[in-house]
Structure 1
């Protein structure tokens, strides 16, 4: 008796008296007509649709608290190391700043996204957020600092951020570099073309 024949017998013994389902019962049948959705399905769809546009990217859920003496550093793929180093050392002028020192966490959360989006809309590239730094990992200033790190990463307008240099506030402030807006990119291309002649 060959190995293939034994495998066939073993398979027959395992599946026993299995029969195919009738054609009308196939769930994956594309020709099957569906009835109207139930009230429960409609309610779930409506609930999901109501939640998704208002979904808040800046939540305070699942925040990893950062050590209070560790500097913040984040940059998206494609950012040159020299640009990040210049940002870390305060090489870009502050075009706007947001002071969150001693404010409640919820107020800080509500202020951040509008500030970043308004700065982006006005073609600003480097802004500073002053948030403070606590000495304990669970101090309110360090909780805010940890939340800011998560929130800034979730905003599409943010290209990079880093803790400020000691002269600009140290670990209690964060430099944020914003992406170039489409308008700024078009202006830059126009200047480059004029320069080339």
Structure 2
């Protein structure tokens, strides 16, 4: 007798008293169909989806390191240089700030999107992000600063950002100018129309 036949006979001998389950009672929770996820599963999926979207949105892939003594500067087309200069010199009030100093890169990556989106949702225009600056190009603070320059440009809500002046943290802080929300734009149009009379 071959080994395959012997294995087949052994299997049948082990399974001879096994009976199929009754279809009506073979579920752990007969009140819910198999296709419907539980509330806990839905919550886990939503959380995982939010985490994945942040991870995909703000990549931690390779970034060109910004030299530690070079200021950060970025503005979208249509933003006047005078607005960028005023932002650089602290000409707008700090409406909110985010302190990322000495925090791990992954934590900063997780904290930045909700901060920007919440500031935008509350019609804030100028926010300050404090991140620090190292003296060496590969210091943790300078690596964060380099990633921040990459990440901020990825937000549709961000119109411009520049390194802060000495009074506001110097190269260890970044001013961010957010665009006006549709609600703020319509309120501005109404004010303009009332003035014109």
TM-score (normalizing by structure 2): 0.73
**1:60 to partner: Cα distance:** 1.1
* Residue-by-residue CA offset, 1:148-173 (whole Å, 9 max, x unaligned): 00000001100000000011100000
Match for residue 12 of structure 1?
A: none
In the alignment, which residue of structure 2 is the partner of 1:104? Answer: 104
Paired residues for 1:5-16 under 5 Å: none
CA deviation string 1:101-156 (max 9, x = no partner): 00010000000010000000000000000000000000000000000000000011
Secondary structure class of the residue paired with 1:90:
coil
Q: How far does the alpha carbon of each residue in 1:62-85 deviate from its partner, in whole angstroms, 9 at most, with x for none?
A: 211000000000000000111011
Gapped regions of structure 2 (runs ≥ 5)? 1-48
Instruction: Give the Cα–Cα distance (whole angstroms) in 2 for the partners of residues 192 and 153 of structure 1.
Output: 31
> Whole-Å Cα distance in 1 between the matches of residues 56 and 113 of structure 2?
10
What is the match of residue 28 of structure 1? none
Q: Distance in 2 between matches of 1:57 and 1:136?
A: 28
How far, CA to CA, are the matches of 2:57 and 2:69 in structure 1?
Answer: 26
State the partner residue of 2:114: 114
Are positions 1:141 and 2:153 aligned together? no
Question: Paired residue for 1:90?
Answer: 90
Q: Deviations over 1:3-59 (max 9, x none)?
A: xxxxxxxxxxxxxxxxxxxxxxxxxxxxxxxxxxxxxxxxxxxxxxx9xx8362211
Name the counterpart of 2:167: 167
Tell me what 2:36 maps to.
Answer: none
Distance 2:174 2:143 in 1: 14
In structure 2, the residue matched to 1:152 is 152
Residue-pair matches, total: 146
Partner of 1:20: none
Structure 1: stretches of 5+ with no match in the other structure: 1-49
3-state SS in 2 of match to 1:56: helix
